[in-house]
Homo-oligomer: A and B are copies of this chain.
Amino acid sequence: MGIPFEIVHKIEYFESDMSGKLSLPMILNLAVLSSKTQSDHLGVGQEEHLSRGLGWVILQYDVHIKRRPTVNEVIRIETQASQYNPFFVHRPFVFFDEQNEEIIRVDSIWAMLDIDNRRMARIPQDIIDKYSAERVKQINHIPRPDKITTTDDIIEKNYHVRYLDIDTNQHVNNSKYFEWMQDVLDLDYLKHHEITNINIKYENEVRLGQEVISQVAIADNVTKHRIMVAAHTSAEAIFTWRSV
């Protein structure tokens, strides 16, 4: 369901981390790029929804990684708005390598934000119609990530929100949360573990000048994450890794 769309993208050196593989934030950025490009093609891009005081926000991602592509690889990303109801859109992304092997699959839940009052808005019918998504009562659900509990051992680090963390929606870009969640793990863990799954749920926006706390509870190949601003949860996630 939904009009299919695709982009082709070459992985550049500045899109990789020290391993030479596509960085975690860039996985999201490239997924979002494919959906933005589709919206532009359909004539309902940023200019159109910003003119109505609306912006798309992502509420949840579920990312399955078979293999992260390396610098100079050319990948293809297929996407479509598959389902919608008046408040939510479900959008899958599939990343393929040059051998046409599926390497990354992302599910996502989107909503529209009223930019002035920072609240969720009803999705305009003429905008959603362009994508030919299936209208459903309830969109396909992404399970909520397991929470950090009071019995978990927590490691945490503080991060100051930087000027370049903020996007044109005037809040911290969703992809930056991955940087805080990954960076709190030590180098030894990151060198010996490769990411296979990320389920992240965004709860509250983070703004310029705020200080966030990135918390993690590690249990072998599973890490549970929470981003806090003071006593409020901004995002929760669960990462699954394989030993390398």
Q: Which residues of A contact B (CB under 8 A)?
A: 12-14, 16-18, 20, 23, 25-26, 29, 32-33, 36, 157, 160, 162-164, 166-168, 170, 173, 175, 179, 182-183, 185, 187, 190, 208-209
Collect the chain B residues with CB atoms within 8 Å of residue A183's CB: 162-164
User: In the complex, A204 Cα to B173 Cα: how many Å?
Assistant: 31
Q: Which residues of B contact A163 (CB under 8 A)?
A: 17-18, 179, 182-183, 185, 187, 190
Q: B182, A209: Cβ atoms under 8 Å?
A: no
- Nearest 3 CB-CB pairings of A with B: A14-B29, A18-B166, A162-B183
Given contacts A162-B183, A187-B209, contact A168 B33 (CB under 8 A): no
Whether the pair B17, A164 counts as a contact (CB closer than 8 A) is: yes
Which of A23, A163, A168 gathers most chain B CB within 10 Å?
Answer: A163
Q: Which residues of the partner chain B approach A157 to less than 8 Å between Cβ atoms?
A: 160
Interchain nearest-CB distance for A172 vs B (Å): 11
- Contacts A13-B36, A14-B33 known; list 16 others, CB within 8 Å: A13-B33, A13-B167, A14-B26, A14-B29, A14-B32, A14-B173, A23-B164, A162-B179, A163-B179, A163-B183, A163-B187, A163-B190, A164-B179, A164-B182, A164-B183, A187-B208
Assess whether A164 is in contact with B25, with CB atoms less than 8 Å apart: yes
Contacts of A208 in B (CB 8 A): 187
Could you say which residues of chain B place their CB within 8 Å of the CB of A17?
Answer: 163-164, 166
A33 to B16, CA, bound (A): 13
- Say yes or no: B33 contacts A12, CB within 8 Å: yes
- The answer to whether B179 touches A20 (Cβ under 8 A) is no
